[in-house]
Structure 1
Amino acid sequence: MTAARAAADILHRASGRRPRVGIVLGSGLGGIADRIAGSVAIPYTEIAGFPVPSVAGHAGRLVVGTLGGVEVACMQGRVHAYEGNGFDALKTAIRALKLAGCDTLVLTAAAGSLRTDVGPGRLMAISDHLNLLGANPLTGPNDEAFGDRFPSMTDAWDPQLRALLRDVAGTLGLDLAEGVYAAYPGPSFETPAEVRMMQRLGADAVGMSTVPECIVARHCGLRVAGCAVITNLGVGLGDGPVDHHQTLSAASAAASDLERLLVGFLERLHEKDGSRS
């Protein structure tokens, strides 16, 4: 099983560390991994079956160490459906984190806002999602070792973890929005008509990732929390064009707020673990 080999590769290189929380960093957010203490950086090419990103802003390495008092395995970069390589490597990566010891997955992403009251630079906790990719990573034979054929997506984005994000944001004075994330296929950006469609469907933000990882994570029993960094207003809602350079620039500018939120979130998880010991 490729995921088992990948988990073995991670644990071998991690020098005795046993990560509890997996983190996936989106476009322009990879610098957060630099805050991980005592870190070991493992190129994806050295982990069996791991994805190799082809998009700018995704370094393609796993950083294992301690953040906020918690042992973490941080994916510095991800792959997307539009890269055309299917979901096998994505499934391997998420399942390997589970087998390596993670019980929680924190997903981050750069996203466009579909609400004019939530502009660039804001953070948005993900409360639910719309899968508009036209594909599901669980399509094909089911691996019963990881989960049921028909996994429930009720509370896919864990309400307790989301409440913890809100509480930490309030303590830190961060203006954390909350909403539904729509996964759009890409790589072209949305048209104004598509933006209006997603608004009518109930989406609050749109991006080209994140949802497949959530689906795979829930299938194998990981709790999932997510936070989007709003980099722009959707096409037709603001002035000027939307492009990937703008996405990377705006995400990098907001990364410090996301870093504070993530560290505070992990510190609170660490405190909760201590209270149960």
Structure 2
Amino acid sequence: MSSPEDPFPLAAAAAAVIAERTGVQQHDVGLVLGSGWGGAAELIGATVAELDAADLPGFARPAVAGHVGTIRSLRTDAGRHVLVLGARTHYYEHRDVRAVAHGVRTAAATGATTVILTNGCGGLRPEVAPGSPVLIADHLNLTGASPLEGATFVDLTDLYSPRIRALAREVDPELTEGVYAQFPGPHYETPAEVQMARVLGADLVGMSTALEAIAARHAGMEVFGISLVTNLGAGISDEPLSHAEVLQAGHDAGPRISALLAGIVRRL
């Protein structure tokens, strides 16, 4: 049986390559860009270096349209370094849960003490229209999996940082928050599954983030999550679901959410 420590040497190896190729010995913040969030990096800081993720230990090219296969090192005006992970691995890619967690573990190995997890998701509240950013207050992990192995017990109380959520509301006082439910994917949820998630307390449904958040907390990082509602969940709206709709919603909301995320990073 694999030991809980096994994933970490690979993350350390990736971090060592990042340090060598970027010239940045320590990053402060890790940022995972999900569907619709790709333009945010341009407003956060100047690019120090951009790497092909597939050239780094443990990373692979993204399997999803709309995701970039690069890792960028940014320097903010305040002199902080942000590691932008565009190469997210989803659980439905069937690599393994270690691969899903590898990005945030690598960010932690570069020295980052904060991680920002973004995603595009389905909304379960009709009053929260597509194009709306929503703070993640908690999650439901419906994948049936965990990135932790063995007798590894981690407290997930206040997993999604109340401190950073408060900072986000300083940037945009109209931000709402909710509970994010991660399904395995890659298929969209059925109307019955959406209703189940609502009964369980979910406001958002998607195929990422929860497993990464657990791994980040285990690595000692402060976790902030924010979703972009790209569509209403199945059965909430009469419209059929499609990935093209997700990409279009992200494109349309791009300027707003990019400015929002940059404002949050400046306050960290």
Is 1:4 the counterpart of 2:12? The answer is yes
Is 1:100 the counterpart of 2:110? The answer is yes
Deviation, 1:55, is 1.0
Pairing partner for 2:144 from 118, 128, 134: 134
Aligned position for 2:47:
38
Secondary structure, aligned partner of 2:172: helix
Secondary structure, aligned partner of 2:74: strand
Secondary structure, aligned partner of 1:150: coil
Deviation, 1:32, is 2.2
Percent identical across equivalent pairs? 43
Unaligned stretches of 5+ residues in structure 1: 143-148, 270-277
Q: Check whether the contact 1:51–1:93 (CA below 8 A) recurs between aligned residues.
A: no
Instruction: Give the alignment's Cα RMSD to 1 decimal.
Output: 1.5
Aligned position for 1:18:
26
Deviation track 1:151-173 (CA, whole Å, cap 9, x = no partner) reads 01111101111111112112xxx
What is the distance in 1 between the residues matched to 2:119 and 2:54? Answer: 22
Deviation track 1:133-181 (CA, whole Å, cap 9, x = no partner) reads 111111x346xxxxxx1001111101111111112112xxxx3110000
Q: Check whether the contact 2:41–2:258 (CA below 8 A) recurs between aligned residues.
A: no
Aligned position for 1:151:
154
Pairing partner for 1:78 from 70, 88, 91: 88
Q: Check whether the contact 1:67–1:263 (CA below 8 A) recurs between aligned residues.
A: no
Q: Which runs of 4+ in 1 moved over 4 A?
A: none
Q: Which amino acid aligns with 2:32?
A: V
Secondary structure, aligned partner of 1:117: coil
Spell out the pairing of 1:104-253 with structure 2 (5 A cutoff).
104-138=114-148, 140-141=149-150, 149-170=152-173, 175-253=174-252
Unaligned stretches of 5+ residues in structure 2: 1-8
Q: Check whether the contact 2:47–2:72 (CA below 8 A) recurs between aligned residues.
A: no
What is the distance in 2 between the residues matched to 1:93 and 1:224? Answer: 14
> What is the TM-score with the length of structure 2 in the denominator?
0.92
Q: Check whether the contact 1:68–1:263 (CA below 8 A) recurs between aligned residues.
A: no
The count of corresponding residues between Structure 1 and Structure 2 is: 258
Deviation, 1:52, is 2.9
What is the distance in 2 between the residues matched to 1:16 and 1:194? Answer: 45
